[in-house]
């Protein structure tokens, strides 16, 4: 955690030059320790006991999580929200006041119930929410494992059946995709953005398109979002149809469509050829059977 509270309940920041002695968790109010000494590159606050959902687990003090939060102004990091009715407390990793948007970063696997709860919590309180999942190959260099998570469509034919995205047609299999498919989660008709970061260098997040097929199949967007300081949060909520109408994505999309049509024609032609060939074989087999029958020879095939 990058934010804690001092004895007066004011926000204090782990990155500050001060060595905080008395600090408290922004979520549960328990005492936390300011870790800013020795080998620690990115200072953070740590619980003395691991009883808090926003505590010492690997997620909140993971290097990637901290780095992503640091792309945003410190006032926007780890903002506390309390539900008026249920008194439920949630800490948004980032809250951009201006656009009324919560951004959640997720490196480790998240429980489905937790994903639904947090998403609905913000949506029902009138805020927008963006989820950004860490899917860099560096964190999972086992290719087999990676392909199990995102099933890259196995061949052109399959990709063509699924639309003109070709090489970027991935189907996202990792949780919480399963909830995206279900209508009983209460999320089915709501607009929120789900992204994955696949690149460590430029830190690229792909927005997953939801409106193409409802939530049944989610594809990466043609458009990529560069995670950087001062990014335009509205980009997360632009529908794919918008990007397809903008240069350079417009021409890229058109090019892909041309390629898609070309490959489709080629497949149709090959399929026609295959059918003709099969018909020819069937005809020849028939002729052979008739000839054999005339000579009272039983076919051996
Ligand atoms: Zn806590």
Could you report the per-residue pLDDT of 160-204, keeping only the tens digit for each? Answer: 444 444 344 444 444 444 444 444 556 656 678 888 776 666 567
Q: Is 119 exposed, middle or buried (0-12, 13-18, 19+ CB in 10 A)?
A: buried
Q: Which residue would you say has higher pLDDT here, 197 or 141?
A: 197
The candidate with the shortest Cα–Cα distance to 63, out of 97, 105, 24, 22, is 105
CA of 91 to the centre of ligand 1 (A): 10
Ligand 1 centre from 25 Cα, in Å? 4
pLDDT band at 254, cuts 50/70/90?
confident
Cα(206) to centroid(ligand 1), Å: 31
Is the dihedral angle over the CA atoms 169, 261, 222, 163 positive or is it negative? negative
pLDDT of residue 244: 84
Per-residue pLDDT tens over the stretch 84-139: 888 888 999 999 999 999 999 987 767 667 788 888 899 989 999 998 887 665 44
Residue 247 confidence (pLDDT): 92
pLDDT at 283: 96
Residue 50 has pLDDT above 80, yes or no: no
Distance between Cα 180 and ligand 1 center (Å): 29
**Å from CA of 22 to ligand 1 middle:** 14
pLDDT of residue 115: 80
Among 97-101, 211-215, 273-277, the least confident range:
211-215
Taking a 5 Å cut-off on Cβ, the residues next to ion ligand 1 are: 25, 27-28, 52
Mean pLDDT of the chain: 78
Exposure on the CB side of residue 11, measured as CA atoms within 13 A: 14
Q: Closest Cα partner for 177 from 162, 196, 191?
A: 196
Distance 123 CA to ligand 1 centre (A): 23
């Amino acid at each position: 955690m990058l934010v804690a509270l001092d004895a007066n309940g004011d926000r204090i920041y782990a990155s500050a030059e001060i060595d905080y002695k008395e600090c408290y968790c922004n979520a549960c109010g328990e005492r936390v320790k300011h870790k800013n000494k020795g080998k620690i590159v990115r200072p953070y606050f740590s619980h003395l006991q691991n009883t808090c959902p926003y505590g010492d687990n690997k997620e909140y003090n993971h290097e990637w999580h901290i780095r992503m939060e640091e792309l945003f102004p410190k006032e926007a990091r780890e903002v506390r929200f309390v539900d008026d009715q249920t008194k439920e407390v949630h800490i948004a990793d980032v809250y951009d006041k201006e656009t009324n948007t919560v951004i959640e970063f997720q490196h480790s696997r998240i429980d489905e119930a937790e994903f639904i709860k947090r998403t609905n919590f913000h949506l029902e309180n009138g805020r927008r929410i963006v989820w950004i999942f860490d899917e860099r190959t560096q964190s999972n260099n086992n290719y087999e494992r990676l392909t199990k998570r995102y099933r890259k469509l196995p061949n052109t034919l399959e990709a063509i059946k699924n639309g003109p995205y070709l090489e970027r047609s991935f189907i996202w299999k990792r949780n919480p995709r399963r909830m995206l498919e279900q209508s009983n989660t209460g999320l089915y008709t709501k607009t929120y953005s789900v992204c994955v970061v696949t690149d460590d260098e430029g830190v690229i997040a792909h927005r997953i398109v939801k409106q193409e097929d409802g939530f049944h199949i989610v594809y990466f967007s043609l458009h990529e979002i560069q995670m950087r300081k001062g990014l335009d949060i509205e980009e997360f909520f632009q529908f794919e149809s918008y990007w397809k109408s903008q240069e350079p994505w417009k021409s890229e999309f058109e090019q892909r469509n041309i390629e898609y049509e070309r490959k489709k024609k080629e497949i149709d032609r090959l399929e026609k050829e295959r059918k003709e060939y099969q018909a020819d074989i069937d005809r020849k087999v028939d002729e052979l059977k008739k000839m054999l029958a005339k000579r009272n020879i039983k076919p051996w095939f």
